Structure 1
């Protein structure tokens, strides 16, 4: 574990514009295909949508010409990429400590504390994880979302992966889409869960509340696998694996099967004090103010040479204390 502290000179460095330059010959066998499709194969470190934008802007040219992404190649042409990356956003760097669990040339994995918002947004332009990342590595300003590949809710703690280069961001985003970035969570839920299972239920917008999601027949496919790690008198500790990554997926799915996460303000149904619970349990539940959900593990192949990364994020002290109280009964 590495605790990041204000690094002074690093924050003072001006962000240097980065120029990407590359050249590739279009094979004769590609004749008749769209140029953006061919470019995605010749420059696999960049997404097709990004290459399409560069084609439109003239930063990626076919035989020296600016072409539309839909133009068909003949085969035998030359694609030349020459683009100067500019900062993606205008968020300011801030000296906020980060708990770094893994770091290599392509990415880093951090343990996000509860209460830390990931992205600046309406009502909060500072004090976020993005601000902290920009302070640690100013060059992340060139990447979408400062290199973040996925997100966690403000009050969910745990492991997040951050790309350090544009190529790594493309690779990790693609791995996430292919379900090759494995995410494991733990959650304290209301009720005694008898056995593990899978929840396969589509998720979409809640019909009345814009802040919530809901299981809906017309929603997007969503699958969550869970198993019981511990059972107590009125609660359970679950281990969960995501097969898809819909917004609020675990929270919605567990509420849907009747085992909402303790403290969940949107899906938990309010404070529930079990009949006959001990005073320590009652006090712990009364004082709990967030969903008891933690992203415990991330496993994936790093874009830095394909090395296997398998990181465990220790749960925060408040969650560990809650588990100890419920375990003691």
Structure 2
């Protein structure tokens, strides 16, 4: 079973100098880089009307056209992995992804992923790009994840995400006792050396993160965060940029724990084994009816426990 895929994209100047396949994997997160590379090699993806190679370095302004067929996920096997389904609708699902669960099979994670679980839950997702995933969460970020269940809803929800009409709200435990909320409006792009990292860079893509104080704690603050844009690692990079990195972040965070904590607080802080980031709410219009939909994922136990320990001698 196959699904027809037709896409058009104008490459932004912010991507100048990057490989075509890497750029399109970022712009089209519903397709893997390997899938995009294969389409380029097969001549199904053309740039300014002509065939190119995946390693083409873009200049910005190129017109990209894709006309291809996407086969069902024949290489990804359904697996009976438990799912916490928050919303079960004929057009879409919203699941509460636990921390530690990889979203999609890839290098080092051939199975045991959310996609394997989704294909077991609903075999009808197989023909859809990435089994219907509309967006992604990092392995160690928990919370709301949206999955389309039909070709029509997938097209509508991906377009709504691109237009920034899907509201994503997070809870983040960060270093430092923040007094007031704010906005980080700083462009993001890949690190020039470590391609797995994102950094603030003048030639990056616009990225805007809004945050407000949810609760002040000892040495930390629980923030309510809303994304205006959705760049890779956006919240993690932006909070590190303003010197309030997320607790437990292995890439953008700090080691150890701040001064002034009790022994119990220090131990709990240092033992927290992931970035303390949770996708708490997801708001969007139903792709078929236009009615408002809101999904809420309760904060996981590990974050709740750390908050209560850090609040033990709170001065409120």
Superposition TM-score tier, normalisation by shorter sequence = 0.7 to 0.9
Work out the CA distance in 2 between the residues paired with 1:100 and 1:313. Answer: 10
- Is 1:123 the counterpart of 2:123 in the alignment? no
Secondary structure of the 1:142 match is: coil
Give the structure-1-normalised TM-score: 0.74
In structure 1, stretches of 5+ residues that fail to align are 1-16, 21-34, 38-46, 48-56, 58-68, 71-82
Instruction: Please identify runs of 4+ aligned residues in structure 1 that moved more than 4 A.
Output: none
Q: What's the CA shift string for 1:209-255, capped at 9, x where partnerless?
A: 22211000011110000000111231100000001100000000000
Work out the CA distance in 2 between the residues paired with 1:109 and 1:210. Answer: 30
For 1:209, the equivalent position in structure 2 comes to 194
- Greater C-alpha radius of gyration: 1
With over 3 angstroms needed to count, the CA separation of the structure-2 counterparts of 1:92 and 1:196, relative to structure 1, is same
Matches within 5 A, 1:1-329: 17=1, 86-88=71-73, 90-272=75-257, 274-329=258-313
Work out the CA distance in 2 between the residues paired with 1:177 and 1:19. Answer: 21
Give the structure-2-normalised TM-score: 0.77
Work out the CA distance in 2 between the residues paired with 1:36 and 1:311. Answer: 29
Q: State the superposition RMSD in angstroms.
A: 2.4
Work out the CA distance in 1 between the residues paired with 2:7 and 2:199. Answer: 37
Following TM superposition, by how much is the alpha carbon of 1:36 offset from its aligned partner in structure 2, in angstroms? Answer: 9.2
Work out the CA distance in 2 between the residues paired with 1:146 and 1:97. Answer: 17
In structure 2, stretches of 5+ residues that fail to align are 9-27, 29-41, 43-47, 50-67
Work out the CA distance in 1 between the residues paired with 2:3 and 2:102. Answer: 31
Native 8 Å contact 1:296 1:314 kept in 2 = yes
Secondary structure of the 1:263 match is: coil
Secondary structure of the 1:252 match is: helix
Work out the CA distance in 1 between the residues paired with 2:105 and 2:2. Answer: 24
